[in-house]
A and B are shown apart, each in its own frame.
Chain A
């Protein structure tokens, strides 16, 4: 028994050392953009943790005035945002079990709020509000470097005769090498 335990210990422990784990924490909010009876996009806001924000402010607030000028925002967009398109901006959206594809982000902006870096942007996609029932949205970094939480910016929407409301959901998602993590998400109920 001791022998088995010792071997198991030797074999299991190295498996703990493969990849990275959260070093950044982002509070995310999402909201629907509704045009008539259609959903035309997702408004996303990220609020970075204070420590990583300090790092980013130190890097991008080059004039150290405590706010971000348009030039500094443009630099953030070019060097710390645009390339995230390859990761779908960490936005996971599912209609049932079908992944909803999003386009290139628009309306990017950034700022400093209470010492924390804030990103806001829009992810375009089109769907009738009726089809958006059960639309599930989560911000998620599969490498698990970033730990996101996802909350709705607004609790409910009224479009024509339809009423839509978000409710909290927990997804269990597979990371790259970390195993399965519980991820806060939101799900849309349309009536």
Chain B
């Protein structure tokens, strides 16, 4: 059992830890170290590298065939785009960190993870289309000096919203914590239920929309390619394919986190569950804030 003051100290401590960990990756403050953080057991599977290269080459080749009138090639290209999206998003980035942080820090259902993934990927595609149309087509003609600034402005807006979301998320945790402990007559179970109920009111779609605002560069260059080569409908189809691939992988990851958290909480007794939940909540909020700030600063 931990009181409100201890929870705040845990929150501050975890935030500092996340800050230090994040700062260590900043090449402007520290030269890349030979033993910089590694994933996938330290070795990126060769298939991710080779498949990504091969898939984009084949999509380009099939696009040329479609341009030449072979419309059936579009179906194959669409299938490859879905696979490309899965392979591409299986790597780091693309807002998965925010999804993982969010769902590891709160009780959620599988359908919420799926909805989050669908919204994030759909907004990504729409945003890519809007960015290209606005930045590459309209601004190129009307205000060419702003054309290069489009992606950066969108990044600043998106990361500012994500950071604000994380801060509000953390503040609401702290407020809930103080509120719960002002009623000492209630059981932990009551507190947990009350807390969970309050948090259910916070929609994941807001975070998904914020994250999706920054389109994947792959989506934007596909649309630019479509405009430049007169195959825009085909490239919109490709972007949809890539997004479906991303949606599949992001749904699986979000689902794994949601199930993992549910299993973990179910296996712990009430006191331990409360403590672990508090740690996860603050870590999740802290991670969203810190990564949001780092991305925001990087985009300024």
B96 at the A interface (CB under 8 A): yes
Query: Among residues 16 to 32 in chain A, which have CB atoms less than 8 Å away from a CB atom of chain B?
Result: 16-23, 25
B92 at the A interface (CB under 8 A): yes
Partner of B229, one of A10, A20, A49, A54: A54
With a 10 A CB-CB cut-off, give which of B36, B41, B136 has the most chain A CB atoms: B36
Give Cα A107 to B221, complex, Å: 29
Give Cα A10 to B287, complex, Å: 14
A84 at the B interface (CB under 8 A): no
- What residues on B are CB-neighbors of A51 within 8 Å? 56, 60, 218, 221-222, 224-225
With a 10 A CB-CB cut-off, give which of A2, A5, A179 has the most chain B CB atoms: A179
Binds A, one of B153-161, B169-177, B257-265: B257-265
State how many angstroms separate the Cβ of A55 from the closest Cβ of chain B.
5
Q: Judge whether A147 and B49 touch: CB under 8 Å.
A: yes
B100 at the A interface (CB under 8 A): yes
State how many angstroms separate the Cβ of A62 from the closest Cβ of chain B.
9
Q: Judge whether B43 and A180 touch: CB under 8 Å.
A: yes
Query: Among residues 43 to 98 in chain A, which have CB atoms less than 8 Å away from a CB atom of chain B?
Result: 49-52, 54-55, 57-59
CB nearest neighbor in B for A145: B217
B203 at the A interface (CB under 8 A): no
- What residues on A are CB-neighbors of B34 within 8 Å? 174
Q: Judge whether A19 and B38 touch: CB under 8 Å.
A: no
Give Cα A178 to B53, complex, Å: 17
Q: Judge whether B136 and A177 touch: CB under 8 Å.
A: no
Q: Judge whether B221 and A178 touch: CB under 8 Å.
A: no
Q: Judge whether A50 and B264 touch: CB under 8 Å.
A: no
Q: Interface size (A, Cβ < 8 Å)?
A: 42
Give Cα A152 to B204, complex, Å: 51
Partner of B39, one of A3, A49, A178: A178
Give Cα A71 to B257, complex, Å: 53
- What residues on A are CB-neighbors of B267 within 8 Å? 2-3, 6
B69 at the A interface (CB under 8 A): no
Q: Judge whether A17 and B256 touch: CB under 8 Å.
A: no
Give Cα A19 to B229, complex, Å: 31
Q: CB within 8 Å of A: which residues of B?
A: 25, 27, 32, 34-44, 46, 48-49, 52-53, 56-57, 60, 88, 90-98, 100-101, 104, 136, 148, 216-218, 220-222, 224-225, 227-229, 253, 256-257, 260-261, 263-264, 267-268, 280, 287
Inter-chain pairs besides A16-B253, A17-B94, A25-B57, 16 sampled, C-beta below 8 Å? A6-B264, A10-B264, A13-B257, A14-B100, A14-B287, A16-B90, A16-B92, A17-B100, A18-B37, A21-B48, A21-B92, A23-B217, A55-B225, A115-B229, A178-B39, A179-B44
Return 16 A-B CB contacts under 8 Å, by A number.
A3-B263, A10-B260, A14-B101, A17-B92, A19-B93, A21-B93, A54-B228, A55-B220, A58-B228, A59-B148, A172-B43, A175-B44, A179-B38, A179-B39, A179-B42, A182-B44
**8 nearest interchain CB pairs?**
A17-B97, A21-B91, A179-B38, A54-B225, A6-B264, A9-B260, A50-B60, A51-B221
